Amino acid sequence: MSVKEKFLDYVSYDTQSDSSSTTMPSTMKQKLLAQHLADEMVAMGIEDAHMDEWGYVYGTIPANCEKKNVIGFIAHMDTAEEVSGANVKARVIENYDGEDIVLNKELGIVTDVENFPILKKFKGKTLIVTDGTTLLGADDKAGVAEIMQAAEDIIKNNLPHGEIHIAFTPDEEIGAGPNKFDVKGFGCDFAYTLDGGELGGLDYENFNGTSADVEITGRSVHPGSAKNAMKNAQNIAIEFHNALPYYDRPEYTENREGFYHLCSMEGDVTGAKLGYIVRDHSAESFAARKETMRHIAKLLNEKYGEGTVELELKDSYFSMLEKIKPHFHLVENARAAIRKAGLEPLETPIRGGTDGATLSYMGLPCPNLGTGGFNYHGPCEGITVEAMDKATEILLNLADIYKDVQ
């Protein structure tokens, strides 16, 4: 199969993860794709390919040259929670004309050039899109397909290579992808993740991230006699939110600027909950943001009574840069592999996180390579076949480079 055929096969599997789940993986349906990939790897000659009890897939392509250098490639199988990944109806547009794409005429869903100017870059390409009712799953089944295609090309064509280790992970989208990753068993000193991003993307610096859950306890009293007695949890929740810097929100920030993002809110007079994610590239600013939230909670408890506001901060990941610096050959060799494919590396700090960030802190330094998709996590998600072909070429170039590294 081609990388296009592999991708279309993989997106037919619903692998949406679930942050409310307490299991690993968070949804058992992820194991269906995992086992499918393990079986496919065995069929192409990766004899030790297997899925473990947690839904991770591992496999090794033994070296076929004198030097036994080791490199790893990793991608995640799950899709985001925001939009359904079930019953994906992928549509292939040959020789895309660069104009608005009507995804679903009946529902009036259009990917328009005005709001998504990136579409202009894909004129003349073979574009894969959705029918507007689901996400596509290019994040990160494109990465999975590209790794699988590179593996097949290496084995089928007997290309010279060192030892190559492959892993596919569940639950990256909910920040749990590395939780049960067997770093020691994986057998690499370093690796690359392929996860989202533009073609030619090379990421080795990312957000520091934490989740912040705010729980507010109110007191209900008949509104006719509520003066100096009622404690409306919803109003206190609004007060908490309004105390945060107004323009430090995703819709007002870019580049290295951090933010507080209100993801969820619910409540009534007696109780309210706010769910945030907090991000910043600077470790100092990241710490300051968390302290700001603690300070607001403290002031509100002083105002309304101790225990009114409970704040729980849970760090998700940290910037990988500090762990990549001692292994900067990963960046230099990736630059060379990208340039060999006729592209110029796109190096910008990630406004998000990847499995590689956490894995880097677990002892497996992992820069990230772009897979070539766009408009991730929504019905306007898409990718070109040409981008997947080129991303596969970059992996083959890396395998070639690392076979000769001392």
Segment holding 277, helix H or strand E: strand 271-280
Question: Last residue of a domain, which of 316, 344, 368?
Answer: 316
Is the pLDDT assigned to residue 284 strictly greater than 60?
A: yes
Strands 368-369, 202-203: pairing kind: antiparallel
How does pLDDT run across 209-258, given as a tens digit for each residue?
999 999 999 999 999 999 999 999 999 999 999 999 999 999 999 999 99
How many folded domains does the chain comprise? Answer: 2
Looking at the structure, tell me whether residues 231 and 184 fall in a common domain: no
Domain edge (last residue) among 263, 287, 316: 316
Task: Specify the pLDDT at position 406.
Answer: 57
78 is catalytic: yes
- Tallying the residues shown for the chain, one arrives at 406
Dig out the tokens for 390 from the structure.
């080129």
Catalytic pick among 131, 172, 248, 355: 172
Residue 354 pLDDT > 80: no
Q: Three-class SS of residue 57?
A: strand
Is 312 among the residues known to form the active site?
A: no
- What is the pLDDT averaged over residues 18-41? 97
Q: What does R_g of the chain's alpha carbons equal in angstroms?
A: 23
358 and 251 assigned to the same domain: no
| Active-site residue, from 78, 131, 146, 152 | 78
Q: Are residues 171 and 159 in the same domain?
A: yes
The Cα 347–Cα 200 span in angstroms is 9
Contact in structure between 226 and 400 (CB atoms under 8 Å): no
Q: Are residue 82 and residue 144 in the same domain, yes or no?
A: yes
Residue 373 CA to residue 377 CA, distance in Å, equals 11
Do 21 and 105 fall within a single domain? yes
Four-point Cα dihedral 131, 135, 136, 139, nearest 10: 170
pLDDT at 21 (0 to 100): 96
> Residue 249 is part of which domain span?
208-316
Domain shared by 296 and 324, yes or no: no
- What tens digit of pLDDT does each residue of 61-108 get? 999 988 778 999 999 999 999 999 999 999 999 999 999 999 999 999
pLDDT at 98: 96
Q: For 130-158, what is each residue's pLDDT tens digit?
A: 999 999 999 999 999 999 999 999 999 99
> What's the mean pLDDT when you consider all of the chain?
96
Do 72 and 174 sit in the same domain of this protein?
A: yes
95 with 223, same domain: the answer is no
CATH number, domain containing residue 247: 3.30.70.360
Examine the fold and report which residue of 280, 300, 316 is the final residue of a domain before the chain moves on. Answer: 316
Counting residues of the chain whose pLDDT is more than 70, the rounded percentage is 100
Say yes or no: 213 and 199 in one domain.
no
Q: What is the CATH number of the domain that holds 119?
A: 3.40.630.10
Please report where in the chains the tokens 């689901």 appear, as a residue: 134
240 and 367 both lie in a single domain: no
Do 111 and 228 fall within a single domain? no
Return the percentage of the chain with pLDDT > 90, whole number.
93
For the chain, helix, strand, coil in percent to 5 are: 35, 25, 45
Q: For the chain, what is the largest distance between any 2 Cα atoms, rounded to a whole number of angstroms?
A: 85
For residues 382 and 246, membership in a common domain is answered with no
Give the integer Cα–Cα distance in Å for 154 and 148. 10
